[in-house]
Amino acid sequence: MAGAAGALALPALRPAFAQAAPIKVGVLHSLSGTMAISETALRDTVLMMVDWINGKGGLLGRKVEAVVVDPASNWPLFAEKARELLQVHKVDVTFGCWTSVSRKSVLPVFEELNGLLFYPVQYEGEEQSRNVFYTGAAPNQQAIPAVDYLMSADGGEAKRIALLGTDYVYPRTTNRILRAYLNSKGVSDADIMEEYTPFGHSDWQGIVSRVKRFAGEGKRAAIVSTINGDANVPFYRELGNQGIKAEDIPCVAFSVGEEELAGIDTKPLVGHLAAWNYFMSVDTPANAEFKKMWRAYIKNDKRVTNDPMEATYTGFRMWAQAVAQSGTTAVDKVREAMYGQKVEAPCGYTEQMWQNHHLSKPVMIGEIQEDGQFNVVWKTPDAIKAENWSPYIPENANRKK
């Protein structure tokens, strides 16, 4: 499982499987509603990985079968669908959720029923569960390095930061961390603007106008965006409408990647930024194989790859390695086998799962290009171990990392 990237190629013939019951993989992503713009690709990624593992003979001689449900961007429905996957379909593992509110909705269900969830999206931290493996970034693997970049000479030496987010736990907690971090760097509260909007928000004219005024008060300003879902389309459109260019007010996004940009005219956005742990444009042999695998599965050259897709891919491979190593799909055994699992990830770094249920990951800053891709302008030399408990949240600062 951890072999060379070339081993990813699908064989021409399907192997015969044992008569044992299939191993069931739950897929818990929104295929409708405001988050479908982001989550549908993650459903497709899990289905691709199921196809891939079956092409290699399955797991433990058994076929792997995907069970797909649609929680429809409805947070309470996530919990209902999680319970359905675990109690009705009796899945062995689940890959799912994007927003932190959806993850927190299902968390009690997975803990009650001792299910196993792989969560593939960057998030605010301040959480650790024995029933969740977090394969996206913690704040020290995305948010804090992004702000450091904006305040650096390369990033424009920003002195004022506008924190714009969707109104739920991830943006509010991330921005609480960032405000404390900025304060520690000498940025006063007067130089921090903070605004939140509902999911699916579409009228950005007033907020973008306020950002322009905030940026016109004598200090270099930048935007940090934790806006999620399809609200990004009118937000970026309004940046273009009001002539906000990257050289004037750079915007770095934490939830906008190649998939979200696919529906936007990116010409006015060239030079704006995103902070992730992977970009489709990364030039590595492992990424070339990942993209080849994706195109062969999806049969559409216009479909892109992105960071949460790579995190889903990495998490699936680690789970499969842990199942093969432990010789079972039993959650308690697989959990123990997950610690220390490594994958040569498409980002070009070796990622490792640690006892805190988080991955070591690199950090990358990418500039938006006209074609909707990102040019990597900065990255860490090594993969960074996650700090899921932030030192900038006082009540959690001394918790075991």
Mean pLDDT for the stretch of residues 345-372: 97
Looking at the structure, tell me whether residues 56 and 110 fall in a common domain. yes
Mean pLDDT for the stretch of residues 281-299: 97
Domain around 179: 140-281+364-396
Looking at the structure, tell me whether residues 246 and 101 fall in a common domain. no
Q: DSSP letters of 55-73? A: HTT-BTTB-EEEEEE--TT
Residue 183's pLDDT band, with cuts at 50, 70 and 90, is very high
Element (H, E) at 226: strand 221-226
Residue 203's pLDDT band, with cuts at 50, 70 and 90, is very high
- Would residue 326 count as lying in a domain? yes
Angle formed by the axes of helices 232-241 and 205-215, to 10°? Answer: 50
In angstroms, rounded to a whole number, what is the distance separating the alpha carbons of residues 213 and 100? 31
- Would residue 190 count as lying in a domain? yes
Mean pLDDT of the chain: 94
For residue 4, pLDDT over 70 is answered with no
Angle formed by the axes of helices 75-83 and 100-113, to 10°? Answer: 30
Total structural domains in the chain? 2
Instruction: Label residue 65 exposed, middle or buried (CB < 10 Å: 0-12, 13-18, 19+).
Output: middle
- Would residue 45 count as lying in a domain? yes
For residue 5, pLDDT over 70 is answered with no
CA 9 to chain centre: 25
15-32 pLDDT tens trace: 567 678 999 999 999 999
223-273 pLDDT tens trace: 999 999 999 999 999 999 999 999 999 999 999 999 889 878 898 899 999
376-400 pLDDT tens trace: 999 999 999 999 999 999 998 788 6
Mean pLDDT for the stretch of residues 145-168: 97
Looking at the structure, tell me whether residues 345 and 296 fall in a common domain. yes
- Would residue 180 count as lying in a domain? yes
Q: What is the pLDDT of residue 397?
A: 79
Looking at the structure, tell me whether residues 269 and 385 fall in a common domain. yes
Looking at the structure, tell me whether residues 242 and 253 fall in a common domain. yes
Where are any strands of DSSP class E within 109-200? Answer: 117-119, 132-134, 160-166, 192-197
- Would residue 358 count as lying in a domain? no
Looking at the structure, tell me whether residues 270 and 384 fall in a common domain. yes
Looking at the structure, tell me whether residues 288 and 275 fall in a common domain. no
Neighbouring-strand partners of residue 344: 350
In angstroms, rounded to a whole number, what is the distance separating the alpha carbons of residues 345 and 5? 9
H runs (alpha helix) in 29-99: 36-55, 75-83
Looking at the structure, tell me whether residues 373 and 264 fall in a common domain. yes
CA distances from 193 to 178, 182, 189, 225 (A): 12, 12, 8, 12
In angstroms, rounded to a whole number, what is the distance separating the alpha carbons of residues 164 and 54? 43
CATH number of the domain encompassing residue 225 = 3.40.50.2300
Does pTM surpass 0.85? Answer: yes
Neighbouring-strand partners of residue 66: 25
CB 327 within 8 A of CB 340: no
Looking at the structure, tell me whether residues 277 and 293 fall in a common domain. no
Q: What is the pLDDT of residue 12?
A: 43
- Would residue 357 count as lying in a domain? no
Looking at the structure, tell me whether residues 163 and 78 fall in a common domain. no
- Would residue 53 count as lying in a domain? yes
Looking at the structure, tell me whether residues 295 and 151 fall in a common domain. no
Looking at the structure, tell me whether residues 265 and 145 fall in a common domain. yes
- Would residue 359 count as lying in a domain? no
In angstroms, rounded to a whole number, what is the distance separating the alpha carbons of residues 124 and 119? 13
Q: DSSP letters of 261-296? A: HTTS--GGGTT-EEEES--TT---HHHHHHHHHHHH
